[in-house]
Amino acid sequence: MQQEKKSVPELKHKIALLTGVTGQDGSYLSEFLLKKGYEVHGVIRRASVFNTARIDHLFQDPHEENKRFILHYGDLADANTVRKLVYQVQPDEVYNLGAQSHVRVSFDIPEYTANITGVGTLRILEAIKDFQEHTGKLAKFYQASSSEMFGSSPPPQNELTSFRPRSPYGIAKAFSYYTTVNYREAYGLFACNGILFNHESERRGETFVTRKIARGVARIKAGLDKKIYLGNLDARRDWGYAPEYVEAMWLMLQQREPEDYVIGTGESHSVRELVELAFSRASIRAWQDYIGIDPRYYRPAEVEHLIADPSKARVKLGWTPKTKFHELVERMVDASLKEYNVYEA
């Protein structure tokens, strides 16, 4: 007698949709989710040159079968495409990492920043709300909120600290934060804000201060530049390591209830300390000789001091930062020295 074949239920992998997939965090989060078995869909902007350097190692030929990393053109300014992608991809989880993310630049292009970094979030939330209402499917939402929203509120800052933003970027992020909370409370969306403090890496954009200094030090060591021009050396930030922060994003969406979490190291250091450590790592003495101050890098209003109180994330998510300031700076400087072939072990 022929034995009845038992049907094995096919294990469906989870599907994630990411905006900002070409950015620092987008690249690390994609790697993280692919390792967890997810199918990852990323939204990229059309550009006249390739803008995918951070994710090229993940690229899969469109003709391959069973692809798990798929890119789509789209823009946070374009509500139609955002909506189409949510319906087409049918994601279990949406991570909104896309933004005009540079604080200094937000003073030059405030309206654009409000449109992308602020209203862009509303466009996604509207699309998810409609998708859930029409299909009955749940799509959890992560919003890349920022410690920049705390602005001039004295440190340490946690989930209860009031927002006093000091830049068009911080204001746009506060709009997105409150919109995320509102869609959770008004429509029952599983929507979380990760309020992340500065996090850096070898993949950090070259105009953010950590990478600018690491790269500048290597270029001086290689004899290519004579000085690094900076703005405010007294500002203090809580700097952590980006690959560790993307795990916190994912953890937020795996909880029973949607909530907001502060993510940071709990330590702060000044830009001056960063400069000193970076030059000393490259064995260059008298760093003052290589630093110029250029007022164009000052902000019309500065956020002076950020330190995270990440206790809630530690207790509820079991998340703790591993890489602290010294190791982070050394890692970034070493990577730049290697890039310019001037690394001495």
Q: What is the contact surface with ligand GDD in residues (CB under 6 A)?
A: 101, 103-104, 146-148, 197-198, 207-209, 212, 230-232, 235, 237, 271, 297, 299, 302, 306
Shortest approach of ligand GDD to residue 324 CB, angstroms?
17
Q: Please answer whether residues 103 and 29 qualify as being in contact, where contact means their C-beta atoms are separated by less than 8 angstroms.
A: no
> CB 44 → ligand GDD: shortest distance, Å?
19
Q: 97 is in the binding site of which of ligand NAP, ligand GDD, none (Cβ under 5 to 8 A by kind)?
A: ligand NAP
Nearer to ligand NAP, 252 or 282 (CB): 252
Alpha carbon separation from 322 to 197, 202, 265 (Å, rounded)? 15, 16, 8
Catalytic residue among 27, 106, 146, 268: 146
- Of the residues 31, 93, 148, 200, only one is catalytic, namely 148
* Tokens matching residue 282: 């490259």
CB of 289 to ligand NAP, least distance (A): 30
Residue whose entry in the numeric block shows the structure tokens 């029952």: 188
Paired with 44 in beta bridges are 73
Instruction: Based on the residue annotation, tell me whether 112 is a catalytic residue of this protein.
Output: no
337-338-342 Cα angle (round to 5)? 55
37 torsion bin: left (phi>0), alpha (psi -120 to 50), beta (else): left
d(CA 296, CA 290): 18
**Residue 178 and residue 285 in contact, taking contact as beta carbons nearer than 8 Å:** no
Residue found under tokens 């040159």: 49
**Closer CB to ligand NAP, 221 or 237, in the complex:** 237
Q: Is 212 or 219 the residue whose CB approaches ligand GDD more closely?
A: 212
Q: Are 52 and 22 in contact (CB under 8 A)?
A: yes
Judged by beta carbon, residue 19 or residue 157, the one nearer ligand NAP is: 19
CB of 28 to ligand GDD, least distance (A): 14
In the bound state with ligand GDD, the residue whose beta carbon lies nearer, of 207 and 311, is 207
Query: Residue 138 CB, nearest distance to ligand GDD (Å)?
Result: 28
Interacting partner of 20 out of ligand GDD, ligand NAP, none (Cβ under 5 to 8 A depending on kind): ligand NAP
Residues paired with residue 194 on neighbouring β-strands, in sequence order: 144, 261
- Binding at 164: pick from ligand GDD, ligand NAP, none (beta carbon under 5-8 Å per type): none
CB under 5 to 8 A by kind: which of ligand GDD, ligand NAP, none does 24 bind? ligand NAP
Please state the three-class secondary structure of 288-345 as a single string. Answer: HHHEEECHHHCCCCCCCECCECCHHHHHHHCCCCCCCHHHHHHHHHHHHHHHCCCCCC
Instruction: Select which of 28, 169, 241, 290 is catalytic.
Output: 169
CB 299 within 8 A of CB 167: yes
Least Cα distance to 145 among 134, 155, 157, 136 occurs for: 157
Q: Which residues bind ligand NAP (CB under 6 A)?
A: 19-20, 22-26, 45, 51, 75-77, 97-101, 116, 144, 146, 196, 198-199, 205
Our answer to whether residue 340 is catalytic in this structure is: no
Could you say which of ligand NAP, ligand GDD, none residue 297 binds, taking C-beta under 5 to 8 angstroms by partner kind?
Answer: ligand GDD
Residue (77 or 181) nearer to ligand NAP, CB: 77
Bridge-based pairing of strands 191-196 and 140-146 is parallel
Minimum Å gap between C-beta 26 and ligand NAP is 5
Residue 48 annotated among the catalytic residues of the structure: no
Q: Give the active site residues.
A: 146, 148, 169
